[in-house]
Amino acid sequence: MINEKINLLETRPSLRFDEMDPDQDGNKNTKFADLIIDGRSLYQMLKKYDRVPSLGWGRVEHQRQMIDYFLLKQQHEYMYNRYPILVCPWCGDEECGFISVIIDREEDIVIWKDFKKEHAHKSINLGPFYFKWENYEKAIMSTYGTAET
């Protein structure tokens, strides 16, 4: 059993730029499902990398695949237990570079650890985070369709 602090995962619709941000001019203001860990936005924690969370936007098939990845129903085709958590804000394509995380499950605890900037495999000093499965599953499922609302 894990003796670490249990984190709370929530989601909320968010935009890449707020309405007063001068950087939004000429840029794609992607709407996505932000991942909120203990009240802190994962997007804001990693904003310097100019990537957005991979959940809540894109084609229906893509959103379902991301949810399946995060719920560990499907392994990533070439990263196995490592998953793209933040992606290109323009297209979401992994070829543009992304931030990945290892997702493990031990009993009713989901663990996010070993955040990396890809394709450089550069470690990011963040986490690990521990979530109770019930909280985690509900939060991840709630991301579907975020950008359409």
Specify if 95 maps to a domain.
Answer: yes
Closest CA to 85 of 46, 121, 120: 46
User: pLDDT tens-digit profile of 42-59?
Assistant: 999 998 998 999 998 888
pLDDT over 90, % of the chain: 49
Specify if 30 maps to a domain.
Answer: yes
Task: Tell which wins on pLDDT, 2 or 130.
Answer: 130
Q: Indicate the number of domains in the chain.
A: 1
Specify if 4 maps to a domain.
Answer: no
Domain that holds residue 70: 9-148
Closest CA to 51 of 111, 103, 117: 117
Specify if 2 maps to a domain.
Answer: no
Cα Rg for the chain, rounded, in angstroms? Answer: 15
Specify if 74 maps to a domain.
Answer: yes
Mean per-residue pLDDT of the chain: 85
